[in-house]
Amino acid sequence: MPPQSPHSLPDDLYSADAVRQIDRFVIDELGVDGFELMQGAARAAFRRLMGRWPDISPLLVLCGAGNNGGDGYLVAANAHRHGLEVHCIAVAPTEKLAGDARKAWQKALSDGVVVRELGDLDESELAGLFDQASLIVDAMLGTGVSGAPGGVFADLIRRTNDVPTPVLAVDLPSGLNATTGAAAGEVVRADLTVTFIGLKAGLFTGQGAAVCGEIVFDALGTGDAIEGSGQAPLAWLRFLDRIGSWLPARPANAHKGRFGHVLVIAGERGFGGAGLMAAEAASRSGAGLVTLATRPEHVSAALARCPSVMAHGIIHGSELGPMLEAASVVVCGPGIGTGSWGQQMLQQVLASEKPRVLDADALNLMAARVAVLSDRQILTPHPGEAARLLGCSVAEVENDRVSAAKKLQSTFGGTVLLKGAGTVIARGGETVDIVGGGNPGMATGGMGDVLAGVIGALAGQLDDMSRAATLGACAHLEAANLASRDKGYMGMIPADVIDALPSVFRPIEFPVPDLQEY
């Protein structure tokens, strides 16, 4: 069975509580038997297991106390019926099992699965089971767990992560918060996660983006029940190929004045590259005109690198007036510093009331002043900048990235793009965007400057700034993915992403007629 493309996943992402309510609706209101649903989940997980690792044996299946554990017992039963060697450990005592989880345990026993109680295993026996396993099935902790795993669960999660054995997580990796994507303690690092009923938001942001591996979704035939359950999505999962239609087609008589004039204000002494990268990224993302206002020392380098950018050396903020007047959107912050030069730049931008993208040091300066509300701004903080803006710790931001983005948006208005694995975009309202995918090669200085330039260019082409933020984040990620295929993760630099931008935008551009046809 080939890997499932993440682009085939549903758009709607739900909180853990919403998925439980949908599950409850299916059972109580639609009359679907809960044990039948559990069996369907186990079959779906086992199909994916066999598709990814055909004939792998022996399996080590770790089962908790709730319905997640019940799924595990039934996966073990499926594997045993197919002739695979199965070692099944009851992490929670089987005497405490109830409801469908108990039925699943009994079904596994009746099918011939040998279930061993964790408490009956000595250290050498337990270590031997982990060492012998060719695949570990994690069915210990489900969506109902929000805190740090403790006791035997924490120990088994550590053991799972310490062996070089592939892991299939049933519904979600144990220790991961299905709503927030946070991990308060130990969390299983899975190679494949098979999830059911409703797609959980926490699988795609924060730690979820790092520990789920390939994500496969199966609605178990309940897809039509979501609307009837009354549960609204917490987020929408976004990919570039799904939202490329947001970028308007370019007519044959297009001219540069129709696609925005981006003013990039960036580059204090020692940080000239930040402004240059943002300006060049804007040029590569379809901006009609790009002006760079930077320290005079950086103008020659800017012209040499990207002569299409109109570079101006600026000493004092009062010199920005004509450039701000001409601009349709302003990108301010990359490398401006927090000294007097940067303060002057930001002050002029805020006073102009032009549509703006505020990044990097502009956000650090804003954290030290009274919040400036505006519906015509996009803030692009990383978790550290978000923490300074909110007056909290980075850990608090990462513990609930969706809530942090929403709080920033309610404080500053406009659109907030919280960077990091599983970028979150909040625009007001209950539902946010989460950008699917992640790329470790993006963890290097200057990537945020490129993103700011891309968003600035798209803000000049779209009437909707929030759409510009989401489209820009998706395009930036796709460009980084494309660049990494050529350069690898460790050697990739922001310039590689800039170079990849035209190839990323090409598939969603208005097609140019082939003149040979005429």
**Span 188-211, pLDDT tens digits:** 999 999 999 999 999 999 999 999
pLDDT at residue 261 tops 60: yes
Which tokens is 149 given?
């795993």
**In angstroms, rounded to a whole number, what is the distance separating the alpha carbons of residues 476 and 498?**
9
Nearest to 177 by CA among 344, 341, 17: 17
Annotated binding site: 67-71, 138, 142-148, 171, 174, 274, 335, 382, 419-423, 448-449
Domain range enclosing 219: 13-233
- Region 322-350 average pLDDT: 97
Annotated binding site for (6S)-NADPHX: 67-71, 142-148, 171, 274, 335, 382, 449
**DSSP for 319-336?**
GGHHHHHH-SEEEE-TT-
Residue ending a domain, choose from 165, 200, 233: 233
**In angstroms, rounded to a whole number, what is the distance separating the alpha carbons of residues 101 and 114?**
16
State the pLDDT at residue 2: 54
pLDDT at residue 479 tops 70: yes
Specify the DSSP class assigned to residue 232: P
Residue 62's domain is classified under what CATH number? 3.40.50.10260
Task: State percent of the chain over pLDDT 90.
Answer: 91
Whether 220 and 280 share a structural domain: no
Domain assignment present for 23:
yes
- Region 211-220 average pLDDT: 96
State the pLDDT at residue 499: 98
- Region 106-117 average pLDDT: 98
State the pLDDT at residue 147: 87
- Region 419-429 average pLDDT: 95
Instruction: Classify residue 517 by burial, with Cβ atoms within 10 Å: 0-12, 13-18, 19+.
Output: exposed
Which tokens is 335 given?
């490398």
Residue 330's domain is classified under what CATH number? 3.40.1190.20
3 or 473, higher pLDDT: 473
Which tens digit of pLDDT belongs to each residue from 375-388? Answer: 999 999 999 999 99
- Region 128-139 average pLDDT: 98
**Count of structural domains, the chain:** 2
| H-run or E-run covering 347 | helix 340-352
207 within 8 A of 181, measured Cβ to Cβ: yes
State the pLDDT at residue 7: 76
- Region 86-95 average pLDDT: 97
Whether 24 and 159 share a structural domain: yes
**In angstroms, rounded to a whole number, what is the distance separating the alpha carbons of residues 263 and 292?**
6
Of 6-15, 153-162, 471-480, the poorest mean pLDDT is in 6-15
- Region 305-322 average pLDDT: 96
462 within 8 A of 472, measured Cβ to Cβ: no
Residue ending a domain, choose from 199, 233, 267: 233
Domain assignment present for 222:
yes
pLDDT at residue 1 tops 70: no
Whether 216 and 272 share a structural domain: no
Whether 401 and 272 share a structural domain: yes
**In angstroms, rounded to a whole number, what is the distance separating the alpha carbons of residues 420 and 417?**
10
Domain assignment present for 157:
yes
Whether 162 and 283 share a structural domain: no
Which tokens is 262 given?
């981006």
Report the mean per-residue pLDDT for the chain: 95
Which tokens is 164 given?
């070089």
**Residue 518: pLDDT band with limits 50, 70, 90:** very low
Whether 198 and 265 share a structural domain: no
Whether 226 and 265 share a structural domain: no
State the pLDDT at residue 515: 42
Whether 156 and 275 share a structural domain: no
Whether 192 and 316 share a structural domain: no
Instruction: Classify residue 353 by burial, with Cβ atoms within 10 Å: 0-12, 13-18, 19+.
Output: exposed
Annotated binding site for K(+): 68, 138, 174
Task: State percent of the chain over pLDDT 70.
Answer: 97
Cβ neighbours of residue 491 closer than 8 Å, sequence gap 6 or more? none
State the pLDDT at residue 369: 85
Domain assignment present for 164:
yes
Which tens digit of pLDDT belongs to each residue from 288-301? Answer: 999 999 999 999 99
State the pLDDT at residue 145: 80
Domain assignment present for 392:
yes
Whether 379 and 333 share a structural domain: yes
Domain assignment present for 249:
no
- Region 7-34 average pLDDT: 94
Helix or strand or coil: residue 356? strand
Cα distances (angstroms) measured from residue 238 to each of 204, 241, 461: 11, 9, 20
Which tokens is 127 given?
């270590």
Annotated binding site for AMP: 419-423, 448
**Residue 227: pLDDT band with limits 50, 70, 90:** confident
Domain assignment present for 240:
no
Whether 273 and 316 share a structural domain: yes
Whether 222 and 267 share a structural domain: no
Domain assignment present for 3:
no
State the pLDDT at residue 494: 97
